[in-house]
Amino acid sequence: MADDLHLGQIIATNNLYKELIGGKFGIELEAHRVSKTGRLSRIDHSAKLGSRRMHPYLQTDYSETQAELVTEPVNSFEAARDRLLQLQWVLRHHMTDDESIWPLSMPPELKQDDLQWLDEKFERTWMQDYRNWLMHKYGSTHEIMTGLHLNYSLPQDLLQHLFKASDAVDFNVFKDQVYFHLGQQIVAHQWLFNYLFGATPFNLNDTDSRTPQFSQPVRSLRTSEYGFVNDHGEKLAYVGDYEKYKQQIEKLLAEGKLFSEHEIYGPVRFKKIAADNPSVDYLEIRLVDTNPFDIAGISENELNLIHLLLIYFVINDEQLRDEVLQGQAETANEVSLQKPTDALPNKDAVLVIMQEISRLADHFGMRFNDGLSLITDRVLTPSKTPAAKMLAVAPNAATMQTWTTQLGNDRARYFKENEQVLFADYFGTSPLSDVVKDALTVGVRVVEYDGNQIMLSVGDHVERASEPVNINELFPELAPTNFK
């Protein structure tokens, strides 16, 4: 059982806090390309961005406008955000002057011709069957909600230390238990994520039968029971152990209720780097709405806080009974559907968490001071949460559409006026900076880079360079004629 691990006790007894700070971190951001008038762009995804069938960084999702930016696993969330800014630069560089990036999780206002275009326009033919399934089951308006996914893996040396200090006999089974424990803790505290990072107060469309338009704003439609979640009867329960969790998925797939594991819209997914890996490699956390007040969709301080919370969840040995998890799920939905300016209904619980993470942060010097300041501000002053700040500038759906359109246009204009300055900020001034940019553009993995040397790969093909080089000459297999 995941709750029987007593990880916090092992870490404290063996003073493993230093090992706890590391790991691998990644960010996936979904965002729509829109026109200057705030409608979904009709301009094709740029062919200069390589093949979407194999591109590791720049993809599209349900809609042709729905860009998906995926960072390489790196050593901190802050470094992952830096990589995300590089990918945004590349995407913007290949957008037209009439386009901007929509900075909200909820899609822009859709007219009838937008809906028809959404249903009919889809170029990733190899995903057509899955796309048809989603369209008929959920509808296009619902499927083009966007957000952030945060990827997190624990340090391997920490996992080995924990395994040796435990009673476990199989490392892979033990690792699955550790990740399931962490996943349970995240799910049990979803209400806190919804409060701190909720940023979807309005539905801008009446064409989504699953997501109603409320008479008053809420904190996070996207994470509520009306948002980007599975149907009742298809939601996974994070109870028991990892084997029980997998059995639920197998049953839903066997019954034909889910198309594939990609259709699991729960708050946490347990992921493997390769399908044949014997155990879980990392978690994909799917709870965070896009923050429109930050150019990257999430701030460094927010990521700093999330990292601290994840460490706290690892060492939290609280026994999570099934009925406790169910109750916390109801609280999470209640928090999502609150008015953005309302205080948490369980403020006492979060004050206890704040005290505990403050003590935990003492082990790491000043590393998490920014995150601690952020949670204090948002818990004590609800008007400082993202949804409440959005409400202050756009008090209804109509003004939200107008404000967001203008915000996207302002950022697009700023990028065009400062493109080279931003390039230097994001990529640096090394002679290899253009090589990094070119690799991210066409879909060559940047495996290692320190400003002086770079290691690149496409599949098993690996190249190293210490001076500027032509990507297409290094990897002729990526010639545009091979793109599809």
Beta bridge partners of residue 70, listed in sequence order:
28
Residue 427 inside a domain? The answer is no
Residue 425 inside a domain? The answer is no
- In the chain, DSSP finds a helix count (H) and a strand count (E) of 19, 10
Residue 422 inside a domain? The answer is no
pLDDT one digit per residue (tens) for the chain, 484 residues: 455 789 999 999 999 999 999 999 999 999 999 999 999 999 999 999 999 999 999 999 999 999 999 999 999 999 999 999 999 999 999 999 999 999 999 999 999 999 999 999 999 999 999 999 999 999 999 999 999 999 999 999 999 999 999 999 999 999 999 999 999 999 999 999 999 999 999 999 988 888 888 889 999 999 999 999 999 889 999 999 999 999 999 999 999 999 999 999 999 999 999 989 999 999 999 999 999 999 999 999 999 999 999 999 999 998 888 888 888 889 999 999 999 999 999 889 999 999 999 999 999 999 999 999 999 999 999 999 999 999 999 999 999 999 999 999 999 999 999 999 999 999 999 999 999 999 999 999 999 999 999 999 999 999 999 999 999 999 998 876 443 3
CATH number at residue 303: 3.30.590.20
113, containing H or E segment? helix 112-120
Q: Are 393 and 387 in contact (CB under 8 A)?
A: no
Return the structure tokens found at 186.
């995240």
Return the structure tokens found at 318.
């609280």
Are both 341 and 463 inside the same structural domain? no
How many distinct structural domains can be found in the chain?
Answer: 2
pLDDT at 2: 52
Are both 466 and 405 inside the same structural domain? no
**Phi (first) and psi of residue 259, to 5 degrees:** -70, -45
Are both 378 and 450 inside the same structural domain? no
pLDDT at 390: 98
Residue 302 inside a domain? The answer is yes
Are both 405 and 439 inside the same structural domain? no
Residue 168 inside a domain? The answer is yes
Are both 452 and 346 inside the same structural domain? no
Are both 379 and 473 inside the same structural domain? no
* Contacts of residue 25, Cβ cutoff 8 Å, sequence gap at least 6: 73, 74, 75, 76, 77, 79, 80, 150, 151, 152, 153, 307
Are both 129 and 175 inside the same structural domain? yes
Residue 84 inside a domain? The answer is yes
* Contacts of residue 87, Cβ cutoff 8 Å, sequence gap at least 6: 57, 58, 69, 70, 71, 440
Boundaries of domain holding 436: 432-482
User: How far apart are the C-alpha atoms of 323 and 333, rounded to whole Å?
Assistant: 16
pLDDT at 480: 61
Helix (H, G, I), strand (E, B) or coil at 23: coil
Residue 426 inside a domain? The answer is no
Distance of CA 445 to the CA centre of its chain: 20
For helices 300-315 and 7-14, the axis angle rounded to 10 degrees is 100
Are both 404 and 447 inside the same structural domain? no
Are both 282 and 347 inside the same structural domain? yes
Q: Are 143 and 62 in contact (CB under 8 A)?
A: yes
Are both 108 and 163 inside the same structural domain? yes
Are both 336 and 445 inside the same structural domain? no
Return the structure tokens found at 86.
């590089």
Residue 101 inside a domain? The answer is yes
Are both 186 and 258 inside the same structural domain? yes
pLDDT at 484: 36
pLDDT at 96: 97
pLDDT at 80: 98
Whole-Å CA distances, 94 to 45, 99, 104, 128, 144: 9, 10, 21, 25, 22
Tokens 């704040």, located at residue: 354
